Chains A and B, each alone.
Chain A
Amino acid sequence: MGEINMKNATDVLLEIEDLHMSFGKVRALQGIDLKIRKGEIHSVIGPNGAGKTVMMNCINGLYSPQKGTITFEGQQINRLKPYQRAGLGMARTFQKVEVFGGLTVLDNIRLGRHLHYKSGILSGSLYWGKTSKEEIKHRSFIEEQIIDLLEIQHIRHKPVGMLPYGLQKRVELARALALEPKLLILDEPLAGLNLEEVEDMARFILDINEEERWQVTCLLVEHDMGVVMDLSDNVFVLNFGNMIIDGTPAEVQNHPEVIKAYLGEEDLYATRR
Chain B
Amino acid sequence: MEITEELTIPKLFYEKASFYGKNKVAMREKEFGIWRPITWLEYLEKVKYIALGLVKLGLKPEEKVSMIGDNRPEGLMAEIAALCAKGTGVWLFQDSLMEEVRYIIDHSDTRFLFGEGQEEVDKAISIFHECPKLEKVIWDDPKGMRSYDQDFLISLEEVISLGKELDSRQPNLFKELTDQGRGNDVALLFYTSGTTSLPKGALLTHYNMLTMGKNLMDVDPCFETDDYVSYLPFAWIGEQMMSISCGLQVGFTINFPEATETAQANIREIGPHVMFAPPRMYEQMTRTVQVKYLDSSWLKRTSYWLSQKIGYRAANRKFKKQSVSGFMKILEWLAYITVQKKLKDHLGLSRVRHAYTGGAAMGPDHFRFFHSMGVNLKQIYGQTEIAGISVVHRDGDIKFDTVGKPIPETEIKIAEDGEILAKSPSVFIGYYKNPEATEKTLKDGWLHSDDKGFIDEDGHLVVFDRSKDVMTLSDGRPFSPQYLETRLKFSPYIKDSWVIGDKKKYITAVICIDYQVVGNWADEKKLNYTSYMELSQKPEVYDLVEKMVRQANTDLPEPARVKKFVNLYKEFDPDDDELTRTRKLRRAFVESRYKVIMDALYSESDMVHIDTSITYEDGRQSHIKIDLQICKVPD
- A134-170 at interface with B (beta carbon < 8 Å): 140, 143-144, 147-149, 151, 153-154, 156
- Can you name 17 A-B residue pairings with CB atoms under 8 Å? A140-B32, A143-B32, A143-B33, A143-B34, A144-B32, A148-B32, A153-B33, A153-B258, A153-B261, A153-B262, A154-B258, A154-B259, A199-B618, A203-B144, A207-B143, A211-B146, A212-B146
A195 contacts B by Cβ under 8 Å: yes
| Partner pick for B261 among A144, A154, A203, CB 8 A cutoff | A154
A212 to B261, CA, bound (A): 27
**In the complex, A210 Cα to B144 Cα: how many Å?**
9
Check B265 for interface membership: any CB of A closer than 8 A: yes
Verify A151–B259 contact, CB threshold 8 A: yes
- Which one of B32, B143, B258, B618 has the greatest number of beta carbons of chain A within 10 Å? B32
Decide: A153 and B143 in contact? CB cutoff 8 A. no
Using known A-B contacts A153-B262, A154-B265, A195-B618, determine if residue A210 contacts B32 with beta carbons closer than 8 Å: no
Residues of chain B lying within 8 A (CB to CB) of residue A143: 32-34
The listed residue (A140, A144, A207, A212) touching B144 by CB distance below 8 A is A207
CA distance A140 to B34 in the complex (A): 10
Tell me which residues across on chain A come within 8 A of B258, comparing CB atoms: 153-154
Q: Which residue of B lies closest to A139 (CB)?
A: B33
User: A residues within 8 A CB of B143?
Assistant: 148-149, 207
What are the 3 closest A-B residue pairs judged by CB atoms, nearest first?
A154-B261, A143-B32, A154-B262
Residues on A with beta carbons closer than 8 Å to the beta carbon of B262: 153-154
For A195, what are the chain B residues with a Cβ–Cβ distance below 8 Å?
A: 618
Q: Is the interface of A mostly helix, strand, loop or mixed?
A: helix
Closest residue on chain B to residue A155 by CB atoms: B261
Task: Tell me whether B265 and A210 are in contact (CB under 8 A).
Answer: no
Q: What residues on A are CB-neighbors of B618 within 8 Å?
A: 195, 199
- Docked Cα-Cα span, A151 to B147, in Å, equals 20
Chain A residues with Cβ below 8 Å from B32 are 140, 143-144, 147-148
A interface footprint on B262-288 (CB within 8 Å = 1, 0 otherwise): 100100000000000000000000000
Q: Tell me how far the C-beta of A204 lies from the nearest C-beta in chain B, rounded to whole angstroms.
A: 10
Category for how many chain A residues contact B: 10 to 19
- Chain A residues numbered 157-211 whose CB sits less than 8 Å from any CB in chain B: 195, 199, 203, 207, 210-211
8 Å CB interface, B21-46 against A: 32-34
CB atoms of A153 and B146 under 8 A apart: no
Which residues of chain A are near B33, meaning CB under 8 Å? Answer: 143, 147, 153, 156
In the assembled complex, the Cα of A149 lies from the Cα of B147 at a distance in Å of: 17
Complex-state Cα separation, A148 to B262, whole angstroms: 13
**Which A residues lie within 8 Å of B265 (CB)?**
154
CA distance A210 to B118 in the complex (A): 15
The minimal Cβ–Cβ distance linking A95 to chain B, given in whole angstroms, is 23
Give complex CA distance A207, B618 in Å: 21
Nearest-CB residue, chain B, relative to A149: B143
C-alpha spacing A154/B33, complex, angstroms: 10
Complex Cα spacing A144 to B225, Å = 30
Smallest CB separation, A166 vs chain B (Å):
14
**Chain B 592-618 against A: per-residue CB contact (8 Å), 1 yes, 0 no?**
000000000000000000000000001
Complex contact B259–A210 (CB within 8 A):
no
Assembly CA distance A140 to B31 (angstroms) = 11
**How distant is the Cα of A203 from the Cα of B146 in the complex, in angstroms?**
13
Q: How far is the CB of A211 from chain B (nearest CB, A)?
A: 7
Q: Which has the most chain B C-beta neighbours within 10 Å: A153, A203, A212? A: A153
Minimum CB–CB distance from A126 to chain B (whole Å) comes to 24
CB distance from A190 to the nearest CB of B (A): 16
In the bound complex, how far is the Cα of B144 from the Cα of A124, in angstroms? 37
Report yes or no: B261 in contact with A210, Cβ–Cβ below 8 A: no
A200 shortest CB reach to chain B, Å: 12
Alpha-carbon separation in the docked complex, A207 to B259 (Å): 19
Which A residue sits closest to B147, measured CB to CB? A210
Produce 1/0 per residue, B155-171, CB < 8 A to A: 00000000000000000
Q: Establish whether residues B259 and A153, one from each chain, have CB atoms under 8 Å apart when the complex forms.
A: yes
Beyond A140-B32, A211-B146, 8 additional pairs, beta carbon < 8 A: A143-B33, A143-B34, A148-B143, A149-B143, A151-B259, A153-B258, A210-B146, A210-B147
Chain B residues within an 8 Å CB radius of A203:
144
Report Cα–Cα, A211/B143, bound state, in Å.
9
Nearest Cβ distance between residue A112 and chain B, in whole angstroms?
A: 17
Min CB–CB distance B605 → chain A (angstroms): 35
* Residues from 104 to 150 in B contacting A, C-beta threshold 8 Å: 143-144, 146-147
For residue B34, which residue of chain A has the nearest CB?
Answer: A143
B373, chain A: closest CB distance, angstroms: 25
Give min CB distance, B147 to chain A, whole Å.
8
Chain B, residue nearest A212 (CB): B146
Docked complex Cα distance between A151 and B33 (Å): 12
Smallest CB separation, A253 vs chain B (Å): 23
Give Cα A154–Cα B231 distance, bound, in whole angstroms: 15
Please measure, in the bound complex, the distance between the C-alpha atom of A151 and the C-alpha atom of B34, giving whole angstroms: 15
Contacts of B259 in A (CB 8 A): 151, 153-154
- A147, B34: Cα distance in complex, Å: 13
Q: Which residues in B have their C-beta under 8 angstroms from that of A153?
A: 33, 258-259, 261-262
Q: Which residues of B contact A207 (CB under 8 A)?
A: 143-144
Q: Report how far A195 CA is from B32 CA in the complex, Å.
A: 28
B 242-273 to A, binary, CB cutoff 8 A, 1 in contact else 0: 00000000000000001101100100000000
- Please, how many angstroms separate the alpha-carbon atoms of A149 and B32 in the complex? 10
**Chain A residue contacts of B146, Cβ below 8 A:** 210-212
Task: Give every chain A residue within 8 A of B147 (Cβ-Cβ).
Answer: 210
Distance A147 CA – B259 CA, assembled complex (angstroms): 12
> A96 to chain B: closest CB distance in Å?
21
Q: Give CA–CA (A168, B246) in the complex, Å.
A: 43
